[in-house]
Amino acid sequence: MDKHGKIELVGEFQEKFKNAKMAVVTEYRGLSVGQMTELRQRIRVVLGEYRIVKNKLAKLAIQDTVYQEFERLLQGPNGWAFSYDDPVDLSKVLVKFAEKNDALKIKGAIFEGAWIEPATVKEIASIPSLPELQAQVLSLMQAPAVNLLRTIQEPGAQVVRLLDKVREGKESASA
């Protein structure tokens, strides 16, 4: 790659860091081409991206940014995962994939400007996703209304059950 291409790549990489809600650096040594393709596809599904960039170019891209923390991890082959939507979804994909493929190792992450250790990425993966949280909040909001409706309907239901028993008693007495 010529100098102009490297400058473009560094600029493109800087743009990815600006747009990402979360960036995760991983070691991918030992993954096959098929496994890498599968990882990229899974990350794309959660509106993320997985890129491999030489450490020297990555170092230039993160210089003087909050992502400079990654500099200490720039040894060996590194893959970069970016989340442009829900960081929880990206964490889940990476952690599940790493559990099935020992070759993928999460080295660290930066989430909204804060450094995150690999163990914390695993903790983030255990958090419910945004749609799941929204569903839980909705059910909590609906619970009082549902309980109120049941409370209002219960006396009427009791009367109906009582009348049903009286009717059954009269039918059995006349038979």
Stretches where the chain sits below pLDDT 50 are none
Say what the pLDDT of residue 81 is: 94
- pLDDT reported for residue 43: 94
Question: Considering 106, 127, 148, which residue would you say is the last residue of a domain?
Answer: 127
In the prediction, which pLDDT does 175 show?
65
Residues 121 and 135 in one domain: no
Same-domain status, 77 and 150: no
Same domain, 122 and 81: yes
Residue-wise pLDDT tens digits, 34-59: 999 999 999 999 999 999 988 888 88
In this structure, the answer to whether residues 72 and 152 fall within a common structural domain is: no
Closest by CA position to 120, among listed 148, 142, 88: 88
| Strand extents, DSSP E, the chain | 22-27, 48-52, 78-83, 105-111, 114-116
Same domain flag for 50 and 98: yes
Instruction: Note the pLDDT of residue 129.
Output: 76
pLDDT of res. 71: 84
Same domain, 78 and 147: no
Token pair listed for 53: 């960039």
88 and 147 co-located in one domain: no
Tell me the CB-side half-sphere exposure of residue 19, using CA atoms within 13 A. Answer: 13
Domain that holds residue 113: 3-127
Predicted local confidence at residue 75, as pLDDT: 87
Measured in degrees and rounded to the nearest 5, phi and psi for residue 32 equal: -80, 170
- Within this chain, do residues 15 and 29 fall inside the same structural domain, yes or no? yes
pLDDT of 148 reads 78
* 29/107 same-domain check: yes
101 and 168 belong to one structural domain? no
- 0.85 surpassed by pTM: no
Q: How far is CA 88 from the centre of its chain?
A: 2
Q: How far apart are CA 36 and CA 58, in angstroms?
A: 20
pLDDT of res. 34: 93
Regarding whether 85 and 55 lie in a shared domain, the answer is yes
Domain count for the chain: 2
